[in-house]
């Protein structure tokens, strides 16, 4: 029994043109037994930054709160919102603190930052359960359906997708990947983050 | 004496008669054609043993078999299937029909139920009614006719992509229209090549070369096949079904 | 002492039955001692290390050292691990040397059978490789493997080259460069770099240099290797297996390095 597959669940993030998207499934299971179809794994960090936490459900809750605490402390001390790349390092160091007794979570982050010149920079990143950062230029995946997500994303994704096209791409990737994964599925949630709004949608998909 | 000697438990080391040689295979059935493909890398662990070891074999003019898993078992299995097909040809003066080859393969696999061939088989070709067909097997002979199937190291990468692009899973047709039940050959070839380049990108056991077999039903239009660069015909009897092979390079890393 | 007639010819076991006590100790009668425990090779015992082989312009060239190890002991230092089979084939073996000697006898028998047919047909490297593959695969299928990795090289009188591998599992493959054992990790990358794309232009001297350079690297890094080796070639003209030879090596660099030289601290 792998702890990483105890509750199931998957997250993926993708880069588009001046936008990013992040999606998760809604299943919470006890191994093969489905428990809930309302278990969200993506949480807002700032207005333009979201983090997905697939892995052991108890650690999802713990880390969500821990990140909220640490981001709040950062905001108070610095008197400004945390930047996506700074948050990625916060995630990394938080996980590495528990190097030899880790949280069983592989976080995925997606956000956009605006440079002082007004340029919009999409940002995605993921880490393993002990905080090894992966800044990808295209997409990052994690969770029990990760190999399926890799396969579909590698086939569907292309550079510079507009928000609605990016939404379609990440949605199709997620839906088709989780349909081939026994531990993921039972609903899908997608966030598309652009410089002036966040589109949040719950997808209709197979519920078996 | 004997009770003064303490012996450590007997050291047991079991010879493992199996190995995994990586690679991926894939087949798609069209209305009147079938496409069967496999990469040509053979590996063991992190070692690439060779960059060219075929996994896809022409059995007859209407049947092509792709074999993936333990290479020694795979080669022996193909050899035995070919032998049985030759015996059939001598006995009946014709090639065995595809569905019969499928049943033969199931019997041969199940015959080794208690010392299985560690091999995933995908059989592609043309049925007696002229339709394109794909049969997929597990190592002990469970089988099923399907429209498309991926197997091997990158099955988990490729199969959901095929679900989406061949079966149009999770796609809704525009109002008043419906999804095609079979794709044209050019679309299938493009998807097969995309599947393998994607799998090569993300899986270390996939790469080096790609061999795509195309089986055309008797009298089927040539679908612009002659325009494909490097295509070779392997048909033995010009009257019946036709078999072609297309080779492509994949990344070496 | 055990003088009982039932035990004549049996190994003495004074400890277990010092006086041949009465009643007569129960011994299995009319049974073969090892009948219920036939031993299969569970591990190789006396082993040969890497074999290297490449294709070159004139044919195929193969190299192996002359060492047969017994664990970490360099036990036999004049062992021929490359043999000629028929008129146009060479076979190099790594793994268990007793299994290899058995294979040599099988191959000799095969060649003799072929000669007695005198039908004008010759066993080529392809056929010998197929024979070895079938033999090794059949033995692995009986869970009684012949513990070897073999390279088979050949060249037909018309100049068609053949080079292939087969091992204890019956796994086969062919390529323009092959290596067994540690050679697969250490020498194969060097061979590929030197040979791939140049199979049809490499001269004999270049081929020898490539193999000898690789053997030297193996000698420096593989503790189960020996600086005494043979190089065999097979061309359209037939087979040539060299006498044993060695290369100059340099160990001066080791002087100041802890773990290499004579230092104890």
Mean pLDDT computed over C153-176: 97
Q: What average pLDDT does this structure show over C130-158?
A: 97
Give the torsion sign (CA, B16, B71, C222, C148).
Answer: positive
Pairwise CB contact (< 8 Å): B160 & A180: yes
- Mark yes or no for CB contact B164/A156 under 8 Å: yes
Q: How many Cβ atoms from other residues are within 10 Å of residue A157's Cβ?
A: 18
Interface test mutation site (partner C, options B13, B14, B16, B50, max chain C beta carbons within 10 A): B50
Q: DSSP letters along A84-124, please?
A: HHHHHHHHHHHHHTTTTS--SB--EEEEEEE-TTS-EEEEE
Predicted confidence at residue B2, as pLDDT, reads 45
Nearest CA in chain C to B41: C173
Q: How confident is the model at residue B223 (pLDDT cuts 50, 70, 90)?
A: confident
How far is the C-alpha of A23 from the C-alpha of A171, rounded, in Å?
A: 8
Closest CA to B64 of B121, B139, B19, B148: B121
* CATH classification for the domain delimited by B27-249, as one of 3.40.630.30, 3.60.20.10, 3.30.70.1050, 3.40.50.300: 3.60.20.10
Say which DSSP state B171 is in.
-
- Tokens standing for residue B49: 């043993």
DSSP structure class, residue B94: S
B15, B49, B70: residue with CB nearest C145:
B15
Name the interface residues of B facing C (CB cutoff 8 Å): 1-2, 13, 15, 17-19, 21, 42, 44, 47, 49-53, 70-72, 75-76, 115
- In a domain? residue A142: yes
Across all residues in chain C, what is the average pLDDT?
89
- The answer as to whether C32 is a domain residue is no
CA distance C181 to C80: 17
CA dist C142 and C138 (Å) reads: 6
Distance between CA atoms of residues A18 and A163, nearest Å: 8
Report H helices in chain C.
Answer: 97-117, 125-141, 183-195, 204-221
For residue A204, give the chain B residue with the closest CA: B170
Would the CB atoms of B49 and C140 count as touching at under 8 Å?
no
In the block, residue with structure tokens 């033969």: B104
Taking alpha carbons only, the member of C133, C140, C174, C179 closest to residue C154 is C174
Q: Is position A208 within any domain?
A: no
- Looking at every residue in chain B, the average pLDDT score rounds to 94
Distance CA C3, CA C66 (A): 49
Report yes or no: B190 at the A interface, CB cutoff 8 Å.
no
How distant is the alpha carbon of residue C208 from its chain centre? 20
Band (pLDDT 50/70/90 cuts) for residue B1 is very low
The domain of A47 spans: 3-203
pLDDT at A112: 97
User: Which residues in C lie closer than 8 A to residue B1 (C-beta atoms)?
Assistant: 15-16
The answer to whether B30 and B190 are in contact (CB under 8 A) is no
CB proximity list for B90: less than 8 A, separation 6 or greater: none
CA distance B122 to B66: 5
Residue C8 is predicted with a pLDDT of 60
Q: How far apart are CA C229 and CA C92, in angstroms?
A: 12
CATH value at residue C169: 3.60.20.10
Alpha-carbon distance of A204 to B28, in angstroms, equals 28
DSSP B173: P
**Which residues in chain B have Cβ-Cβ distances shorter than 8 Å to A148?**
156-157, 159-160
C-alpha closest to that of B250 among B24, B56, B34? B24
The helix/strand/coil state of B110 is: helix
**CA separation for the pair B15, B17 (Å, rounded):** 6
- Asked if residue A30 has a cis previous peptide bond (ω within 30° of 0), the answer is no
Q: Chain-wide mean pLDDT for chain A?
A: 97
Q: What percent of chain B has pLDDT over 90?
A: 91
Give the residue-averaged pLDDT of A82-94.
98
- Other residues' Cβ atoms within 10 Å of the Cβ of residue B1: 6
- The beta-carbon neighbor of C171 closest among B19, B51, B115 is B19
pLDDT for the residue C190: 98
| Contact (CB, 8 A) for A99 and A130 | yes
Task: Check if C31 is active-site.
Answer: no
Q: Residue B58 to residues A19, A151, B78: CA-CA distances in angstroms?
A: 48, 28, 10
Contact C175 B17 (CB under 8 A): no
C9 compared with A28, residue with greater pLDDT: A28
Q: What is the pLDDT of residues C190-248, one digit of tens each?
A: 999 999 999 999 999 999 999 999 999 999 999 999 999 999 999 999 999 999 999 99
Longest pairwise C-alpha distance within chain B: 91
Residues of chain C found within 8 Å of residue B49, distances taken between Cβ atoms = 165, 171, 173, 175
Summarize pLDDT for A162-175 with one digit per residue, the tens: 999 999 999 999 99
**Is C15 within 8 Å of B15 when comparing Cβ atoms?**
no
* Cβ contacts of C244 within 8 Å, gap of 6 or more: C66, C78, C228, C229, C230
Chains with 3 or more CB pairs closer than 8 angstroms to C?
B
pLDDT confidence tier of residue A105, bands split at 50, 70 and 90: very high
Please tell me whether residue B77 adopts helix, strand or coil conformation: helix
**Residues of chain B neighbouring C175 (CB-CB closer than 8 A):** 49-52
Across the range C256-261, mean pLDDT stands at 76
Pairwise CA distance, residues A28 & B172, whole Å: 27
- Chain C residue with Cα closest to B13: C42
Which of A151, A156, A172 lies nearest to residue B156, judging by beta carbons? A151
Coil, helix or strand for A191? strand
Select which of C41, C47, C171, C172 is catalytic. Answer: C41
pLDDT at C2: 52
**Residue C8: phi, psi to the nearest 5?**
-60, 135
Which percentage of chain B shows pLDDT scores above 70? 95
Q: Judge whether C253 lies within some domain.
A: no
DSSP state, residue C260:
T
The pTM assigned to this predicted structure is: 0.91
The minimal CB distance from B71 to the residues C15, C141, C171 is found for: C171
pLDDT at C22 > cutoff 60: no
User: Is C15 inside any structural domain?
Assistant: no
Per-residue confidence (pLDDT) for residue C25, from 0 to 100: 47
Distance (Å) from the alpha carbon of B109 to chain C's nearest alpha carbon: 15
Number of domains in chain C: 1
- Please write the tens of the pLDDT for every residue from B165-189: 999 999 999 999 999 999 999 999 9
Chains that touch B (3 or more CB pairs under 8 A): A, C
User: Looking at the domain assignment, is residue C28 inside a domain?
Assistant: no
Query: Mean per-residue pLDDT for A143-151?
Result: 98
Chain B residue with minimum CA distance to C179: B49
Predicted confidence at residue C38, as pLDDT, reads 64
Q: Which helix (H) or strand (E) holds A172?
A: helix A163-178
Cα separation of B65 and B125, whole Å? Answer: 9
**Structural domains in chain A (count):** 1
- The pLDDT value recorded for residue B68 is 98
Residue B98 sits at the vertex; the CA angle it makes with B93 and B100, to the nearest 5 degrees, is 75
C195: domain range? 51-245
Residue A72 pLDDT exceeds 60: yes
Residue window 145-174, chain B: list those with CB within 8 Å of chain A: 154, 156-161, 163-165, 169-171
Please report residues of B whose CB lies closer than 8 A to that of C173: 42, 49-50, 53, 71
């Amino acid at each position: 029994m792998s702890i990483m597959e105890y509750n199931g669940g998957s997250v993926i993030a993708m880069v588009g043109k001046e936008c990013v998207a992040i999606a998760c499934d809604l299943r919470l299971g006890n191994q093969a037994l489905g428990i809930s179809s309302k278990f969200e794994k993506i949480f807002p960090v700032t207005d333009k930054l979201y983090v997905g936490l697939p892995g052991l459900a108890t650690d999802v809750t713990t880390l969500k709160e821990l990140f909220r605490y640490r981001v709040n402390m950062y905001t108070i001390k610095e008197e400004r919102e945390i930047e996506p790349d700074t948050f990625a390092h916060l995630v990394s160091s938080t996980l590495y603190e528990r190097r030899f007794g880790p949280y069983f979570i592989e976080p995925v982050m997606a956000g956009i930052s605006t440079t002082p010149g007004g340029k919009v920079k999409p940002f995605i990143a993921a880490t393993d359960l002990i905080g090894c950062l992966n800044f990808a230029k295209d997409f990052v995946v994690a969770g029990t359906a990760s190999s399926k997500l890799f396969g579909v994303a590698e086939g569907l994704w292309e550079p510079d997708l507009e928000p609605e096209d990016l939404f379609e791409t990440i949605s199709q990737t997620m839906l088709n990947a989780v349909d081939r994964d026994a531990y993921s599925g039972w609903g899908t949630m997608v966030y598309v983050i652009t410089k002036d709004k966040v589109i949040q949608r719950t997808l209709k998909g197979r519920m078996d | 004496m004997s009770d003064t000697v303490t012996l450590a438990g007997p050291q047991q080391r079991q010879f493992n008669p199996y190995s995994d040689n990586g690679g991926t295979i894939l087949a798609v059935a069209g209305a009147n054609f079938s496409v069967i493909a496999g990469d040509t890398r053979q590996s063991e662990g992190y070692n690439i043993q060779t960059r060219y070891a075929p996994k896809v074999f022409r059995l007859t003019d209407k049947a092509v078999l792709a074999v993936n898993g333990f290479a020694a078992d795979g080669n022996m299995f193909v050899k035995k299937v070919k032998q049985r097909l030759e015996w059939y040809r001598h006995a009946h003066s014709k090639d065995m029909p595809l569905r019969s080859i499928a049943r033969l393969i199931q019997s041969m696999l199940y015959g080794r139920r208690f010392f299985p061939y560690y091999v995933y088989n995908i059989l592609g070709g043309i049925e007696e009614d002229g339709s394109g067909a794909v049969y997929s097997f597990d190592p002990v002979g469970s089988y099923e006719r399907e429209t498309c199937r991926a197997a091997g190291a990158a099955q988990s990468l490729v199969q959901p992509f095929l679900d989406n692009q061949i079966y149009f899973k999770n796609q809704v047709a525009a109002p008043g229209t419906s999804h095609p039940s079979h794709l044209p050959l050019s679309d299938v070839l493009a998807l097969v090549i995309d599947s393998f380049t994607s799998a090569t990108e993300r899986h270390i056991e996939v790469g080096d070369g790609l061999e795509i077999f195309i089986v055309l039903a008797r009298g089927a239009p040539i679908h612009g096949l002659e325009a494909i660069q490097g295509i070779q015909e392997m048909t033995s009897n010009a009257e019946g079904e036709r078999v072609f092979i297309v080779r492509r390079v994949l990344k070496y890393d | 002492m055990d003088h009982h007639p039932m035990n004549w010819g049996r190994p003495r076991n004074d400890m277990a039955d010092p006086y041949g006590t009465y009643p007569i100790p129960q011994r299995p009668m009319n049974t073969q001692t090892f009948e219920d425990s036939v031993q299969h090779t569970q591990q190789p015992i006396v082993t040969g290390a890497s074999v290297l082989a490449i294709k070159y312009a004139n044919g195929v060239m193969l190299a192996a050292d002359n060492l047969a190890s017994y664990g970490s002991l360099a036990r036999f230092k004049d062992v021929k691990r490359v043999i000629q089979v028929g008129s146009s084939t060479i076979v190099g073996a790594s793994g268990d040397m007793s299994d290899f000697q058995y294979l040599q006898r099988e191959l000799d028998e095969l060649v003799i059978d072929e000669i007695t047919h005198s039908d004008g047909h010759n066993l080529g490297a392809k056929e010998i490789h197929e024979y070895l593959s079938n033999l090794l695969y059949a033995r692995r299928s009986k869970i009684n493997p012949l513990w070897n990795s073999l390279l088979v090289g050949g060249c037909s009188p018309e100049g068609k080259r053949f080079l292939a591998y087969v091992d204890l599992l019956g796994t086969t493959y062919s390529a323009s460069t092959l290596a067994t054992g540690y050679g697969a990790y250490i020498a194969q990358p060097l061979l590929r770099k030197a040979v791939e794309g140049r199979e049809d232009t490499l001269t004999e001297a270049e081929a020898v240099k490539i193999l000898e350079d690789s053997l030297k690297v193996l000698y420096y890094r593989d503790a189960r290797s020996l600086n005494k080796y043979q190089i065999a070639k097979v061309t359209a003209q037939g087979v040539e297996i060299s006498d044993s030879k060695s290369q100059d090596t340099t160990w001066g660099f080791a002087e100041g390095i802890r773990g290499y030289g004579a230092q104890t601290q």
